[in-house]
Structure 1
Amino acid sequence: MGFHTFDADRAAKLEKSADRYRYLSREELLAAIDPDAGDVLADLGSGTGFFTDDVAPFVDTIHAVDVQSEMHEFYRQKGVPDNVELLTSDVAGLPFEADALSGAFSTMTYHEFAGPEAIETVARVIEPGGRLVIIDWAADGDGEAGPPLEERYSATEAVDALRADDFEISRVDERPETFLLIATQ
């Protein structure tokens, strides 16, 4: 399960707002993150920056983290906001100091990095009281979009993984194809 990455050659597909907002609207993402003007966030698995761009106007800094440099190149060509810093890294290898981030979010990418080492790293870099928002494809979805079902996690599996690193879960919404989870450090 997991550790699937999106084919960078198909990056333009990630910019289709009708497809992306069908499963997560800008408003729902912003409500879940509840950004503050002074926040320093990380978008874990930022891809082309589609959702990074939605959050950027509301925070001080966003680190757009993606393991594929090709995704960052696509983002550069599209245009990166001034307060977005591109970081090519896997989530388990985030180079931030302890408590460096106000929070983090992952939009449809948890299945790409889920694992104890990545969750432990996220727990280390988010400050106490900081929020982690995960929206991802559900293992019990029907598979009409997103990665194959065998590469997905259930909301329960994600909750259990986060609780193992002392995250407190404040919200879990299970939908037909996705789940939304809000946790605090």
Structure 2
Amino acid sequence: MGFHTFDPAGADRLDDPSRFRFCSREELLAALDPDPSATVADLGSGTGFYTDEVAPFVDKLYGVDVQSEMHERYRENGVPEAVELVTANVEELPFADDDLDAAFSTMTFHEFASDAALAEIRRVLTPDGRLVTVDWSASGDGDAGPPVAERYDAADAASLLEDAGFSIARVDERPETLLVVATA
């Protein structure tokens, strides 16, 4: 699919509450099933739209984004106390082995999915740590999100995760998005 990033000039779109039509807070939390003492990472946190929704339910949440401009915007909006912002590429996460109880990505998997990134996520997750991926689906029409050619479908995303050593717990293909829950 190729690495690319979201243009920070369009960051206002990332704070649009209509994004919940693609993945609600409740759906994300149900898939993540976080323990209140958990340490979690939002991979591709952007301006913190979904980070803010998960933060009240965990002890520590790292908002990971490769673009410092996204963190600047997030700081302008206000960062919850439980959140620490980390500027890093998913292929080089600054966490120790087994450091995270869970991780999630919303609408960013297509931006970072590679063998190296998936191996890195698996490295930093505890044994049985959960990874929740919600992303634009290749089965969608492309009216929202990236071009269809830049997307994976649910089966392909699950296959990539299995190849990286994850066990797949759930795979959902929806009209525009996919949801995959995997464990390390």
Question: TM range, normalised to the smaller chain?
Answer: over 0.9
Unpaired stretches in structure 1, ≥5 consecutive residues: none
Q: Give the structure 2 partner of residue 15 of structure 1.
A: 15
The residue type paired with residue 67 of structure 1 is V
- The whole-number CA distance in structure 2 between the counterparts of 1:113 and 1:40 is 21
The residue type paired with residue 10 of structure 2 is R
- The whole-number CA distance in structure 2 between the counterparts of 1:32 and 1:4 is 26
Deviations 1:107-154 (A, max 9, x none): 000001000000000000000011000000011211110001111112
Identity of aligned residues (%): 60
- The whole-number CA distance in structure 2 between the counterparts of 1:51 and 1:166 is 26
Counterpart of 1:28 in 2: which secondary structure? helix
Give structure 1 regions of 4+ aligned residues with deviation exceeding 3 angstroms. none
1:164 offset after TM fit, Å?
A: 1.2
1:2 offset after TM fit, Å?
A: 3.5
Q: Does 1:94 align with 2:93?
A: yes
- The whole-number CA distance in structure 2 between the counterparts of 1:46 and 1:137 is 16
Distance 1:112 1:68, change over 3 A: same
- The whole-number CA distance in structure 1 between the counterparts of 2:153 and 2:94 is 28
- The whole-number CA distance in structure 2 between the counterparts of 1:165 and 1:24 is 25
* 1:26-65 matches, cutoff 5 A: 26-65=25-64
1:4 offset after TM fit, Å?
A: 2.5
* 1:125-164 matches, cutoff 5 A: 125-164=124-163
- The whole-number CA distance in structure 2 between the counterparts of 1:43 and 1:70 is 16
What is the TM-score when the length of structure 1 is the normalising length?
A: 0.98
Contact persistence 2:34–2:102 (CA under 8 A): no
